[in-house]
Chain A
Amino acid sequence: MGNLTHVTINFKTSHLIFPTIIACVLGVLLVAIVIRDRKRIAASGAYWRDTWGAMDKPRFLGALALTLVYFSLMVPVGNIWPNTGLGFLLCSIPYVLATGILFMHERTPRAILPLLIVALVGPTFVWWLFTYPLFLTLP
């Protein structure tokens, strides 16, 4: 009985013990979920079609696309003026403005004006705050 419960840990491979156990538990849980929810999983095509149909695609996909572009441009733009945080500032202003216009319902000049002010003041204030008082370099 003692041999059955005895465990020797090999230090060299000790990094794999817990992940292996957790992966096995995850696998068992996944199988249990698949068995229990098999009908729902089989009908998931309709669920995703409904989700896609009900989604506000321009706003959702537009927000994702703008965020991707924002993240991708920040470092290359920042590298033009290294260690100044201008990559963040110059990318954040159009990003805040564009995302705000995307989320807006009535796009009139009167509605865009406050957004424009926030898009200019917000990133500039944050850039100043992190660059000077907090001494944290932005991209």
Chain B
Amino acid sequence: MNRRQFLLLATAGAIGSALGVSTLMKRAVAATPQHLFSATDNPAGGHFLTRLDISNGQMQSVAVPMRGHAVLPLADGKVLMFGRRPAFESVAVEFGEGSTTPIKAEAGRHFDGHGCLSANGDVLFTSENAYDAKRGVLGIRDSKTFQHLGEYDTHGLDPHDIHLMPDGKTLVVANGGIEQHPDFGRRKLNLDTMQPSLVYLDAATGQKIDEYRLPDHHLSIRHLLVTPTGDVGVALQYEGDLYRTQPASLVAWQASGSDLKLLDISREAIAPFNGYMADLAYDAAQDILAVTSPRGHHVTFWSVREQRFLHATPLPEPSGIAFQPEQGAFLVSDASGNLNTLSTNQQQASASLLHQFPDRLWDNHLVIS
């Protein structure tokens, strides 16, 4: 496939599309959501992609060769699991057969944990690190064959989460800003000079459309949520000295067409979250953003309308989170193997245990489809 063919593939169906991003990202999903997918480990350190039937608690786990991070169900029934950085492999899992298909990183590249599809679902974008060149890139692959087609520059280091915007034409990339090299494991090599950024790219050409930064360069921009109307929520991780300084916030929001802004929280309220936010989900009806803080052992809730922190509810190492519109509640996994349902309003949240799997350590993200 040449570049022209790829561009056609990537843009086909994008023009004029007004699909919501959830539809775009989960286009393979059945009409009635019933399965939860997440990377998991067992207590001995084995790595799996796990599928759970939410209605009856039946679980199937397929062993995979590397620790995964984010997952992405495809239209053909396969589920992609992206390797946790620095991973030289991601996998496509077929639960029916319990089989895995490896997706290898190109030479000099490793996967950074996330990926998304083009508007028509034919092209897969993955966040990757071109480590010798110290460059963040998006790998571009055929979503059926996983053949590598090319790559885009992300205009920053450490690209992590990546989403397609509702226009079907624009990619939003969280450049975490942290330099790393697989020779040095997961060590962070540039904390003094890190420069995280939120970058928008033309999905068809890779051209940079826009770039946003936060006032504190130690706030690593890591995980994103995109609403159907094109707003972007951002979960942040603080790389400064928490023992001396608390960050101004750990959550940011960019209303469509506006600037990227930190949501308000007091210094006292932010301290328990230990500078670390993981996954995020959004209840559009209440305009409430929920963000998990595994190091803070809380799920936090934020008013988007009022641009401020509301409250938090304790859970042990909460990790993946998704909003279930039908139930009007959030589903949250945690490191003790529990799946919890959280209902919230502006004042408070209540958690109830949905399923318990003591030998299952849920990883940072979950997807319901």
User: Do A and B make up one complex?
Assistant: no
Residues of B within 8 A of A (CB): none
